[in-house]
């Protein structure tokens, strides 16, 4: 199974629940934001798919019954199995949660995640929509559905879902939808708006290593090699070196003409990440 393009640590929540839905913003508003698909995306970034009083995530509340308590335990177990890649067991836990508490929205959310990972897109969308029909303002549900939509190249819809997630005043993990929105835009080569989203993610959580790395990557892709170098210095001071961060630093130094720093990164790649694809690329001289 192909590995998802998003990082699971920005996806998996603990718990969830709902509010009242309003229809997503229409095309007329999108047109006023600038016209065409880019205008629609810019509009979606700042216009959530939900309005009204935002709900608290279910993690803020105790289960209302023994049935809900059992269902919650099954979903928590299922999320853990999902993180480990044990999708069949995760799906069984989701079904067990629904057997314990009929219509339990987090169970449908878990099903959406599992089916998304299995590329069973029709089932994934149905599950996400069932969760959201009961909890349309839930930040975790909207974040997860946004990931699904982005994977389907439905970028404007995805950005609106991420906006809903990050707009919830009770959500403690705003760095997740900002990070995922940035990744969605980056995959579509929209570097300026991706940079804005990753900056918001880092502001929401300074320990978000993925957001800081992506900002360095964007600086490199925009030709700001010194800026990429400076961001990677910050990254390597705060987080563990990785093959991809060393490789990006090497290429930024090479493009900036800093041979000393390039050689230092090359040594790190050879000595610490000899078996990595990045080291293979360096040995083959494939720097771009």
Shared-domain flag, residues 87 and 153: yes
Share of the chain above pLDDT 90, in %: 77
Q: What are phi and psi of 208, to 5 degrees?
A: -75, 90
Region 62-79: mean pLDDT is: 91
* Rounded (10°) CA dihedral 32, 182, 59, 109: 80
Of the listed ranges 1-5, 95-99, 134-138, 177-181, the one predicted with least confidence: 1-5
Q: Can you give the pLDDT at residue 256? A: 96
Number of domains in the chain: 2
Of 126, 144, 169, the domain-final residue = 169
Q: Is residue 177 part of a domain?
A: no
Residue 2 within any structural domain of the chain: yes
Whether residues 5 and 91 fall in one domain: yes
Judge whether residue 38 has pLDDT over 80: no
Let me know whether 158 and 231 are in one domain: no
How high is the pLDDT of residue 36? 61
Give dist(CA 111, CA 131) in Å, integer: 9
The H or E element spanning position 274 is none
Q: Using an 8 Å Cβ cutoff, are 55 and 18 in contact?
A: yes
Give a yes or no: residue 202 inside a domain.
Answer: no
Q: Enumerate residues 6+ apart whose C-beta is below 8 A from 181.
A: 45, 146, 158, 159, 162, 163, 166, 197
The model's confidence at residue 11, banded by pLDDT at 50, 70 and 90, is low
Q: Are residues 104 and 234 in the same domain?
A: no
Confidence of residue 58 (pLDDT cuts 50, 70, 90): low
Asked if residue 251 is part of any domain, the answer here is yes
Percent residues over pLDDT 70 in the chain = 84
Average pLDDT, the chain: 87
pLDDT at position 60: 65
Instruction: Assess if residue 189 is contained within a domain.
Output: no
Q: Return the H-helix or E-strand segment holding 10.
A: none
Judged against a pLDDT cut of 90, whether residue 42 lies above it is answered with: no
> Does 217 reside within a domain?
no
Tell me: do 164 and 232 sit in the same domain.
no
For residue 251, give its domain range: 224-288
* Residue 238: CB atoms within 10 Å: 11
Distance of CA 199 to the CA centre of its chain: 14
pLDDT of residue 86: 96
Cα 8 to the center of its chain, rounded Å: 7
pTM of structure:
0.83
Distance CA 265, CA 254 (A): 10
* Residue partners of 153: CB distance under 8 A and separation at least 6: none
Among the candidates 154, 169, 184, a domain finishes at 169
pLDDT in tens, 172-227: 999 999 999 999 999 999 999 999 999 999 999 999 999 999 999 999 999 999 99
And the tokens for 12? 């998996």
Residue 40's nearest CA partner among 148, 142, 130, 156 is: 156
Where do runs of H (alpha helix) occur along the chain?
27-32, 36-45, 66-83, 87-100, 105-117, 121-134, 139-151, 155-167, 175-187, 191-204, 209-221, 225-238, 243-256, 259-272, 277-283
Question: Residue 22: is its pLDDT beyond 90?
Answer: no
266 within a domain of the structure (yes/no): yes
At what angle are helices 105-117 and 87-100 packed, to 10 degrees?
A: 160
Sign of the torsion formed by the C-alpha atoms of 82, 88, 90 and 94: positive
Residues 127 and 229 both lie in one domain: no
The reply to whether 188 falls in a domain is no
User: How far apart are alpha carbons 118 and 132 in whole angstroms?
Assistant: 20
Q: What is the pLDDT of residues 101-140, one digit of tens each?
A: 999 999 999 999 999 999 999 999 999 999 999 999 999 9
What per-residue confidence (pLDDT) applies to 27? 34
pLDDT at 121 (0 to 100):
97
- Residues 164, 79: one domain? yes
Average pLDDT over residues 167-171: 92
Report the chain's terminal Cα–Cα distance, integer Å. 27
Whether 78 shows a pLDDT value over 70: the answer reads yes
The helix/strand/coil state of 118 is coil
């Amino acid at each position: 199974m192909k590995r998802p393009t998003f990082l699971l640590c920005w996806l998996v929540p603990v718990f969830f629940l709902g509010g009242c839905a309003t229809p997503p913003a229409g095309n007329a508003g999108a047109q006023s934001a600038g016209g065409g698909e880019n205008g629609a995306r810019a509009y979606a970034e700042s216009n959530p798919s939900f309005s009204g009083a935002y709900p608290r995530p279910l993690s803020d509340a105790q289960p209302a019954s023994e049935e809900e308590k059992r269902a919650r335990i099954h979903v928590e177990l299922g999320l853990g199995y999902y993180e480990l890649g044990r999708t069949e067991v995760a799906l069984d836990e989701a079904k067990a949660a629904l057997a314990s508490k009929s219509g339990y929205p987090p169970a449908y959310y878990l099903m959406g995640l599992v089916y998304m990972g299995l590329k069973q897109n029709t089932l994934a969308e149905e599950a996400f929509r069932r969760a959201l029909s009961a909890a349309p303002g839930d930040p975790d549900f909207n974040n997860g559905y946004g990931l699904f939509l982005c994977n389907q190249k439905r970028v404007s819809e995805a950005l609106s879902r991420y906006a809903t997630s990050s707009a919830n005043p009770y959500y403690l993990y705003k760095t997740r939808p900002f990070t995922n929105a940035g990744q969605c835009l980056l995959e579509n080569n929209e570097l300026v708006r991706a940079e804005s989203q990753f900056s918001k993610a880092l502001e929401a959580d300074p320990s978000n290593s993925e957001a800081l790395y992506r900002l360095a990557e964007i600086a490199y892709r925009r030709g700001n090699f010194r800026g990429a170098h400076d961001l990677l210095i910050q990254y390597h001071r705060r987080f563990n070196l990785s093959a991809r961060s060393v490789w990006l630093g090497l290429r930024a130094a090479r493009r900036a003409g800093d041979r000393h720093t390039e050689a230092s990164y090359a040594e790190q790649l050879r000595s610490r990440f000899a078996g990595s694809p990045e080291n293979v690329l360096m040995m083959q001289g494939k720097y771009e």
